[in-house]
Chain A
Amino acid sequence: MKKIKKSNFEKMVNSLLQSGSTIIAPVLKKGKHYFSRIESFDKISLDYCQTVLSPKAVYFPSTDSLMRYENEHNNVKIIEVEVPKNPVIVLGVKPCDAYALSYLSEFFLKENSDTYIQVRKENTTIVGFTCTHSDDKCFCTSLNINPFDTKGTDIHFTDIGEEYYVESITEKGNEIIKNFNTMFEDSQTIDKKEYSSNPPIKFDLEKIRLTDKFESSVWLDQSLLCLGCGACAYSCPTCSCFDIQDESNPYSGERLRCWDSCGFGLFTLHASGHNPRHDQSNRWRNRVFHKFEYSVKNLGIISCVGCGRCIRVCPGGMNISEHLAELATI
Chain B
Amino acid sequence: MKQFEPKIIAFVCNWCTYAGADLAGTSRLKYAPNVRIVRFPCTGRIDYQLILKAFENGADGIIVSGCHPNDCHYTSGNFYARRRWIVFKSLIDFMGFDNRRMYFSWISAAEGAKFASFINEVTDSIRKLGPYTDYSNLRKIGVGSIGEEL
Contacts and interface: CB of A to CB of B under 8 A. Distances in A.
Touch between chains A and B, by CB atoms below 8 Å: yes
Interface of A: 22, 24, 29, 34-37, 51-58, 61-65, 88, 249, 254, 256
A58 B142 CA distance: 10
Contact of B144 (A24, A62, A249): A62
Interface in B105-145: 141-142, 144-145
Contacts of A65: 141-142
Nearest 9 Cβ contacts at the A-B interface: A61-B145, A57-B150, A35-B150, A34-B149, A65-B141, A57-B145, A37-B147, A53-B150, A63-B141
Contacts of A51: 150
Contacts of A55: 150
27 contacts: A22-B146, A24-B146, A24-B150, A34-B149, A36-B148, A36-B149, A37-B146, A37-B147, A37-B148, A51-B150, A55-B150, A57-B145, A57-B150, A58-B145, A58-B146, A61-B142, A61-B144, A61-B145, A61-B146, A62-B144, A63-B144, A64-B141, A64-B145, A65-B142, A88-B146, A254-B141, A256-B141
Nearest to A33: B149
B57 A58 contact: no
A81 to B, nearest CB: 9
Contacts of B148: 36-37
A64 to B, nearest CB: 7
A24 B149 CA distance: 10
Contact of B145 (A52, A54, A62, A249): A62
Contacts of B147: 36-37
Contacts of A254: 141
A29 B149 CA distance: 9
Given A35-B150, A56-B150, 13 more contacts: A22-B146, A36-B148, A36-B149, A37-B148, A51-B150, A52-B149, A57-B145, A57-B146, A57-B150, A58-B150, A62-B145, A63-B141, A254-B141
A51 B149 CA distance: 10
A249 B146 CA distance: 27
Nearest to B144: A62
A55 B141 CA distance: 18
| Most-contacted residue by chain B among A24, A61, A254 (CB, 10 A) | A61
Contacts of B141: 63-65, 254, 256
A8 B147 CA distance: 26
Contacts of A88: 146
Contacts of A64: 141-142, 145
Nearest to B141: A65
B142 A249 contact: no
A254 B147 CA distance: 21
| Most-contacted residue by chain A among B57, B144, B145, B150 (CB, 10 A) | B150
Contacts of A58: 145-146, 150
A63 B149 contact: no
B36 to A, nearest CB: 14
B123 to A, nearest CB: 24
A34 B150 contact: yes
B145 A63 contact: yes
